[in-house]
Amino acid sequence: MENRSFEEKVAVYISENRLFDADDRLLVAVSGGADSVALLCLLAGLGYDCVAAHCNFHLRGDDSMRDERFVRELCAKLGVGCLVRDFDVPAYMEEHKVSVEMACRELRYKWFEEVRVEAGCAVIAVAHHSDDSVETFFLNMLRGCGIAGLSGIKPVNGKVVRPFLSVGRADIESYLKEIGQDFVVDRTNLETEYSRNKIRNIVLPAIRRCFPDADAGLRRTLGNIAGDFAVFGEAVGRIKKDICTFEGGKTVIDRRKLGQTAHPLTVLHEIVSPYGFSAAQEKSMLSVSTTGAVFRSGDIVAEIGRGMITLFRDNFSDEAYDFRLADFSGLPLKIELEKSDYYPGFVFRRDSSMAYFDGRILNEALTLRHWREGDRFHPYGMRGSKKLSDYFNDNKFSLADKRSVWLLCSGERILWIVGHRASSDFSVTEATKEVVILTIR
């Protein structure tokens, strides 16, 4: 490939996909290998304001230090700023219980985003190319995936951009040879221990021997699937609007409408898969009939309700707000207070957003908080106390409702399950002189 045509091809790809603007500052991830070295040389050669970022994971002994020295020297030659970070990968693996590949990926991209902001860069440019996209296609296909996984690597993912997806590994190496730029070789890329390396070093070479035009065909296929996925995404978006409602940080899926779609499991997958639920969990969500059944993925919960599936983040903290009725600013709920003299025949409105209390409550130190295990209260009109968990179960509270409902308390006494039921504490009696009415808006 002619040097000029390579540069033009990448420049056109950058422009067509609007990866970044001409005056943007770019953070370029540089390992020292052929792909990232070519990316830095090309972007710097095209006149972009670049900053290089190099991760030293210290996993390959002297080779790790060799790579760092090479990147520093390359940046000095190109007149590009160079940022280097050392990482303790084994410690991260132990703490987060992840593989070495996942540990390196998480550490890398977390640091890239931090330095992108600090260095004032618009995007993070990484050197994935069309061969990487083809490898990803085969890996995802063999693991079992949907149309999203088969569409390959995307040119833009948040602040991460990939200018080389229009060129392949052979094009990149030819470009480096023509400009006389060397690079370092990561010998682990030649091993077949990792799944991607097996695709790269065994599967794809065998396909190319049998089908000489395989690369061109695979690239066309990836382009076609990417287009199909774009159309598919629009259709799924319209379906989501019809079957999902969003309220208070929760996503509620109408199971009846979901069941009427052309393929309910596919639609459900598109809604819940971003939260990390497995294929087995997704199938169970569709088939389970037990109200209250719960599926978890990290801190995300999918709860089966009557005719619905509710998704919410189960990280409600034990937040508590101390206040008095003389000043209830800063509360997460908007409370309106009204006072009235008590008289025979006083009318109590049946409104769940309202609660009536004896005026003595005005002198109390109050707390607004969530449910805690072991909570009990004295329901108005009942003798004795009741576990709050039993009240929730009797009134068919979902897990999301239990987590999110607010309790108005005075010390250990629960005065009001806000929006639901008041207790007998501070209740209005014949001896009451002043009635305090609290309304939640």
Write down all domains in the chain, each with its CATH number in brackets. Answer: 3-223 (3.40.50.620), 248-313 (no CATH), 320-440 (no CATH)
CB 82 within 8 A of CB 27: no
Range list of β-strands (E), 275-417 = 294-297, 300-305, 308-313, 320-323, 335-341, 354-358, 366-369, 376-377, 386-387, 407-410, 413-417
Q: Is the pLDDT confidence value at 235 over 80?
A: yes
pTM: predicted TM-score of the whole model, two decimal places: 0.64
For position 1, what pLDDT does the model report?
42
Confirm if 48 and 24 have CB atoms less than 8 A apart: yes
Confidence (pLDDT) at 282: 95
Q: Cβ distance 164 to 37 under 8 Å?
A: no
- Give which of 340, 321, 341, 339 is closest to 331, Cα–Cα: 321
Helices marked H in 120-213 = 130-143, 147-150, 169-179, 195-198, 204-210
CA dihedral 286, 290, 293, 297 (to 10 degrees): -20
What residues form DSSP beta bridges with 55? 85
DSSP secondary structure code for residue 316 in this structure: -
**How far, CA to CA in Å, does 309 sit from each of 146, 236, 245, 286?**
22, 17, 11, 9
pLDDT of residue 338: 93
Least confident interval from 42-46, 106-110, 193-197: 193-197
| Of 97-101, 174-178, 267-271, 311-315, minimum mean pLDDT range | 311-315
Report the DSSP pairing between strands 413-417 and 421-422.
antiparallel
Half-sphere exposure of residue 417: CA atoms within 13 angstroms, side-chain side: 24
Helix axes 264-272, 214-243, angle to 10 degrees: 90
Alpha carbon distance 368, 366 (integer Å): 7
> For 142-146, which contacts have Cβ atoms below 8 Å and span 24 or more sequence positions?
144/279, 146/266, 146/269, 146/270
Distance CA 351, CA 330 (A): 24
The confidence band for 306, taking pLDDT boundaries of 50, 70 and 90, is confident
- Which residues, 6 or more positions from 137, have their beta carbon under 8 angstroms from its beta carbon? 149, 150, 152, 218, 221, 222
pLDDT at position 188: 61
Q: Are 137 and 217 in contact (CB under 8 A)?
A: no
Mean pLDDT of the chain: 91
Mean pLDDT in residue range 82-94: 95
Decide if 71 contacts 33 (C-beta within 8 A): no
Comparing 402 with 38, which gets the higher pLDDT? 38
The string of pLDDT tens digits covering residues 316-330 is: 667 889 999 988 788
- Taking the chain, what is the end-to-end CA distance rounded to the nearest angstrom? 68
pLDDT in tens, 67-85: 999 999 999 999 999 999 9
- Other CB atoms closer than 10 Å to residue 423's CB: what's the count? 26
Q: pLDDT tens for residues 205-217?
A: 999 999 999 988 9
Structure tokens at 369: 């908080």
Alpha-carbon distance of 216 to 158, in angstroms, equals 28
Q: Dmax of the chain from CA atoms?
A: 98
User: pLDDT band for position 2 (50/70/90)?
Assistant: very low
More confident site: 190 or 385: 385
Count of C-beta atoms within a 10 Å radius of residue 227? 11
Using alpha carbons, select from 155, 166, 151, 152 the residue that is nearest to residue 225.
Answer: 151
Q: Which carries the bigger pLDDT value, residue 152 or residue 356?
A: 356
